[in-house]
Amino acid sequence: MMLSSHRAWAIRLLTLCLVVYVSLALDSPRISPDDPGEHCNFKVTFRKYRLILLWELKNHSIVPTHYAFEYTIMSKPEGMKIVKNCTNITSSFCDLTDVWQDMHEMYIPLVKAYRGTALLVQCAGSIMTTNLAIEPPDFEVVGSADHISVTVSFPSLAPMVYKEDLRDHASLVIEEHLENNVKRHEPPINGSFIGNFSYVLNDLIPNTNYCVSVYFESIRFTPTVKAPLKCILYQPGQESGTSESLKIALLTIFFIVAVAISIVYALRQSGYVSLHTNFPKALIFKNFVPWTVPDLPLLEDVNTVEVCYINRKKKVWDYNYDDESDSENEASPRTSEGGYTMHGLTSRLLSQIPTSSATSQASHPEDSADEESEEPEEETQPQPQPWLPAALGPSPGQRECTSESCERTGGLPQDLSFGDNDSNSTEGSGGKITFNVNLSSVFLRVLHDDPEDSEEASLVLTPPEETVNLEESSQETESSLLVAGGEKLQVLFPSLPPKCLWTGDDLSDESDTGSSDVDDVRDGYIMR
Amino acid sequence: KENARLLISMSYPFPLRCLKDIKGFGLPQNILSYSWPVERNIKEAFYEISMQAFSIFSRHSPISIWKEEFLAQIKSGLSEQKEHLKRCLEEEKKQSKNMQVIQQSKLALRRYFQRIENYLKDKKYSYCAWKIVAVEIKRCFSYFLKFTELLRENQVSF
């Protein structure tokens, strides 16, 4: 019995201890520094006249992708309230200007941090409206002649905090800092903080650096946030900061320009620099083209040029049948001057024959005619000109060519007028054939495609580079001359059959008759 | 103002787990209506608040929740405030004849603080209950501070 009573008492005591211990454990009003949910630092601020709640995770290693914000109030047992613009945000702040409007209330914010769909951490806090920090407004400091002007920027509408005018909760304070002294200004503002407000600081010490700070001061809201100091050097007579700097800039530029001008003038006076107005032609860049564009060849029609050879062979017969006289006569022409050459047949590439040259040469016939009358037997130095038979019209001898032969020669014009046909006789003057060609008498006529023109088309060969003495004393010589001439001509006209080459036998002795009858224009040629 | 700052520090930060114990105590805001005489009414109300708050913190000292030094500061502040208001009210009492409005205000405030005390008893002076009570008393102080500012700025006509 006694043992059971002892046991019962022990059990009762143990049970009581357990109850007490459990009660103490559950209801112990002890301080818990690590309360769950207190993982954020909250801050409420009135920034740019907006009520902003900011938060920051205490554990910076947690980097969420987005947040969800909720809140409740302490005055009533209401559930968590969702803020529309702060449900799924990446920023760590929420604009609650139109949400929190009771300044006496204690708000309980709840922030949930997510990474994707996973909840990383949720933190709660308690926000007293008295914890509100009103950030300072924007302001400018401008120095004037006798004062410093402080201009504060307010919004166009009256700023409201907790549904009440800010003017009812705070006053504007301007602090004037001078070295270690701080002077406080509380400018009287009628009505709300609207628009720009200017305040003048007077009684300033000249040439002294003043710093100004502006902020809102509230007896209700404990934190006071002051704006960073803006300093200005007060100098009497200065108009404004910006105009002063502008004046300094203008003076600096003027000084530099004046120094530059004086230096140049001094150098000029000393002769180190001499200024000229008349520049050499090489330095005149008026029409200077930085690059030279090669002139493209003119795209113009290339016409076959007819070289009209004017044969003004004059044979003076002195009724002397001696060969010597002929030879002398022959010699003289060979060495004669004044535009005559022995063979006198040259031509140029039609592609190289400009129209202007044709025109200029065409204007020369009169001159050449005059020269011939004076010095018919003179010869000139051969003109080095390229000569291509294919580019030429038919040679004088081709008039006798058959059409077939002429075709073989490359389509040379059929018509050939090198003088009158009648004058083309095979009779020679004792086997001596001398060609005297006045180069200046050579003129060109453009061959056209018209048939009428083709009839008049004639070939006048300009003298080749080498003069050929076609003098022959005998028939052999003549023939050889002919051959030679022919060969020469063959050489000159390799594509032409020999019989198509004119050897000069066609020249008539009557060519010199009627010297007064200078011109016998037939088919565009002048025969004498 | 200093007592309000002390109460703020008592209630901050608020633990999340205590949200379930939140209760509305019904602060009688009508006692601060702009009725004549407003100034005396505010002083009477403020005196009642100071006295009741001092009583709560003295009779049921939450030493385990807050530090003893901190509790001493708030009790000292409330006591000083109470005594100051008492002297002012005794002087005005001699001059004032209309006490009916003042009694109604005091009665409302007494009921208000009774509800707070009953809450503490019901919650058995728990940690969360004390947190909630500290927040509520602070709210009451803040409410009255606003009207004292208005009184100072002469926005209330007498």
| Greatest mean pLDDT among A11-15, A320-324, A397-401, B145-149 | B145-149
C-beta separation of A467 from A378 below 8 A: no
Query: Element (H or E) spanning A260, and its range?
Result: helix A241-270
Place of tokens 């900011």: A54
> What pLDDT, on a 0 to 100 scale, did the predictor assign at position B119?
93
> Cβ contacts (< 8 Å) between B132 and chain A: which residues?
74
Is the CB of residue B11 less than 8 Å away from at least one CB of chain A?
yes
Query: Is residue A464's pLDDT more than 60?
Result: no
The larger pLDDT score, comparing residue B114 to residue A331, is at B114
Report how far apart, in Å, the C-alpha atoms of A397 and of each of A143, A401, A484, A486 are.
109, 7, 15, 10
Query: Is residue A234's pLDDT more than 80?
Result: yes
Smallest Cβ–Cβ distance between A36 and the set B5, B8, B17 belongs to B17
CATH number at residue B127: 1.20.1250.10
Confidence of residue A248 (pLDDT cuts 50, 70, 90): confident
**Is residue B20 situated within a structural domain?**
no
**Is residue B8 situated within a structural domain?**
no
Q: How far is A219 from chain B (nearest CA, A)?
A: 8
Q: What digits encode the pLDDT tens for the residues A12-58?
A: 665 555 544 444 434 443 433 334 466 888 999 999 999 999 999 98
**Is residue B9 situated within a structural domain?**
no
Q: What digits encode the pLDDT tens for the residues A143-195?
A: 888 889 999 999 988 888 888 888 888 889 999 998 888 999 999 888 888 88
Q: How many domains does chain B have?
A: 1
**Is residue B10 situated within a structural domain?**
no
Query: Is residue A376's pLDDT more than 60?
Result: no
Measured CA to CA, the distance from residue A39 to residue A55 in angstroms comes to: 10
**Is residue B21 situated within a structural domain?**
no
**Is residue B5 situated within a structural domain?**
no
Sign (positive/negative) of CA torsion A349, A351, A356, A362? positive
Q: What digits encode the pLDDT tens for the residues A496-513?
A: 444 444 444 444 444 444
* All structural domains of chain A: 40-128 (2.60.40.10), 139-238 (2.60.40.10)
> What pLDDT, on a 0 to 100 scale, did the predictor assign at position A99?
92
Smallest Cβ–Cβ distance between B139 and the set A30, A35, A106 belongs to A106
- Sequence-separated contacts (24+) of B111-115 with Cβ below 8 Å: B111/B28, B112/B25, B112/B26, B112/B27, B112/B28, B112/B140, B113/B49, B113/B52, B113/B53, B113/B55, B113/B56, B115/B25, B115/B26
**Is residue B15 situated within a structural domain?**
no
Measured CA to CA, the distance from residue A502 to residue A209 in angstroms comes to: 115
C-beta separation of B99 from A64 below 8 A: no
**Is residue B114 situated within a structural domain?**
yes
**Average of per-residue pLDDT values in chain A:** 66
> Cβ contacts (< 8 Å) between A74 and chain B: which residues?
14, 22, 132, 135-136, 139
Query: Is residue B124's pLDDT more than 80?
Result: yes
Smallest Cβ–Cβ distance between B14 and the set A29, A103, A126 belongs to A126
Smallest Cβ–Cβ distance between B65 and the set A29, A76, A222 belongs to A29
Measured CA to CA, the distance from residue A154 to residue A433 in angstroms comes to: 119
Tokens representing residue A201 in the block: 């600081």
The pTM of the whole model exceeds 0.80:
no
Tokens representing residue A487 in the block: 């060969």
Measured CA to CA, the distance from residue A445 to residue A521 in angstroms comes to: 14
The larger pLDDT score, comparing residue A424 to residue A451, is at A451
Q: How far is B90 from chain A (nearest CA, A)?
A: 28
Mean pLDDT across the stretch A312-325?
Answer: 60
Confidence of residue B101 (pLDDT cuts 50, 70, 90): low
The larger pLDDT score, comparing residue A246 to residue A456, is at A246
> For A14, which DSSP code?
H
Which 129-158 residues of chain B touch chain A by CB within 8 A?
130, 132, 135-136, 138-139, 142-143, 145-146, 149
Task: State the residue range of the domain holding B82.
Answer: 33-155
